[in-house]
């Protein structure tokens, strides 16, 4: 494999990782602050993609579609927090898993009901289509590069929000001692709704951005959700830094594994067997990575016990 192709794969892995970070950040934030495991996070990703596709088709503007997606995901997030999720904070994880599993069933079927079973398509906007020439003469998709930049910008914004602002201070305080910050006069329930809506908006943003790369269909949030779980297990639950590290690690491992493993096996196997063994192993690679990390650090890279 040539160097140029390798760099391109690394960039693809980075783009995938950044997208996973947007998903994982919301999950890990919600878990860290509220102790809640939310399987319906993938549904918010799906809502983002569907609203972006429908919004862009209706208005003819990708950016308007993106804004609509962000708002819709945040709105649905706030809505389910107010109606369902807040009844689950005091419950054990099993109840949270089941109730949010039920939400997935409801959201997936409702989406199928509204939009039908056929996938929608979202075109990349005019100003981001085509390729850009990177230093070293590498041609790379403008849109994917934009995703990487947006993702990194959101990551930086999230760090600033949590470490520098008043809201961030409350979020961190809520992570440590919810009774105490309640006693200090912070309205916990509004704070929780806001954090949940923020996480939902990040998932929606991620779904909307990815919607232009893959087809927009019911159930698209679930594989991403599982990967986001792998990311936060590797990174350590509740840690934004861990989510970023885990996401980039998973994104690179998966993308590079899929392109390099078949080539690696072709060195000592016949081509068709190498392709099938290589791709089967590549599809398991990130889980092997996760198992490896857990062997040495059962609470993830940046997690605390």
Residue 133 has phi, psi (to 5 degrees) of: -95, 120
Q: Is 226 in the site for another protein (CB under 8 A)?
A: yes
Q: Is 294 in the site for another protein (CB under 8 A)?
A: yes
Question: Count of CB atoms within 10 A of residue 72's CB?
Answer: 22
Q: Is 37 in the site for another protein (CB under 8 A)?
A: yes
d(CA 142, CA 193): 35
Out of 112, 142, 172, 241, the only residue in the binding site for another protein (CB under 8 A) is 112
Place of tokens 């192993």: 281
Q: Is 263 in the site for another protein (CB under 8 A)?
A: no
Q: Is 16 in the site for another protein (CB under 8 A)?
A: no
Out of 94, 183, 190, 267, the only residue in the binding site for another protein (CB under 8 A) is 94
Q: Do 218 and 111 form a contact (C-beta atoms < 8 A)? A: yes
Q: Do 175 and 33 form a contact (C-beta atoms < 8 A)? A: yes
SS3 assignment for 41-67:
HHHHHHHHHHHHHHHHHHHCCHHHHHH
Q: Which stretch binds another protein (CB under 8 A): 50-58, 65-73, 193-201, 296-304?
A: 296-304
Q: Is 95 in the site for another protein (CB under 8 A)?
A: yes
Question: Cα 138 from chain centroid?
Answer: 27
Out of 79, 82, 299, 301, the only residue in the binding site for another protein (CB under 8 A) is 299
Residues that bind another protein (CB under 8 A): 31, 37, 84, 87-88, 92-95, 97-99, 101-106, 108-110, 112-113, 222, 226, 229-230, 232-233, 237, 276, 279-280, 282-284, 287-288, 290-291, 294-295, 298-300
């Amino acid at each position: 494999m040539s160097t140029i192709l390798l760099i391109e794969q690394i960039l693809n892995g980075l783009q995938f990782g950044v997208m996973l970070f947007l998903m994982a950040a919301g999950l890990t934030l919600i878990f860290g602050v509220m102790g809640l495991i939310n399987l319906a996070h993938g549904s918010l990703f799906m809502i983002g993609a569907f609203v972006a596709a429908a919004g862009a088709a209706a208005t003819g503007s990708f950016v308007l579609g993106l804004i609509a997606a962000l708002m819709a995901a945040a709105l649905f997030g706030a809505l389910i927090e107010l109606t369902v999720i807040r009844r689950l904070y005091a419950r054990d994880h099993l109840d949270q898993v089941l109730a949010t599993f039920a939400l997935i069933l409801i959201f997936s079927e409702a989406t199928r009901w509204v939009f039908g079973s056929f996938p929608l398509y979202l075109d990349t906007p005019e100003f981001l289509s085509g390729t850009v020439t990177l230093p070293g003469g590498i041609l790379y998709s403008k849109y994917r590069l934009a995703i990487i930049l947006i993702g990194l910008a959101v990551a930086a914004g999230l760090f600033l929000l949590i470490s520098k602002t008043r809201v961030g201070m409350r979020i961190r305080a809520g992570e440590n001692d919810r009774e105490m910050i309640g006693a200090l006069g912070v309205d916990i329930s509004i704070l929780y709704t806001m954090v949940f809506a923020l996480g939902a908006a990040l998932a929606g943003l991620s779904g909307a951005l990815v919607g232009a790369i893959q087809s927009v269909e019911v159930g698209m949030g679930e594989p991403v959700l599982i990967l986001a779980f792998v990311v936060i297990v590797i990174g350590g639950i509740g840690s934004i830094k861990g989510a970023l590290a885990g996401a980039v690690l998973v994104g690179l491992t998966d993308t590079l594994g899929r392109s390099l493993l078949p080539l690696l096996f072709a060195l000592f196997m016949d081509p068709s067997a190498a392709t099938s063994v290589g791709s089967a192993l590549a599809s398991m690679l990130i889980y092997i990575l996760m198992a490896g990390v857990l062997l040495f650090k059962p609470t993830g890279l940046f997690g605390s016990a």
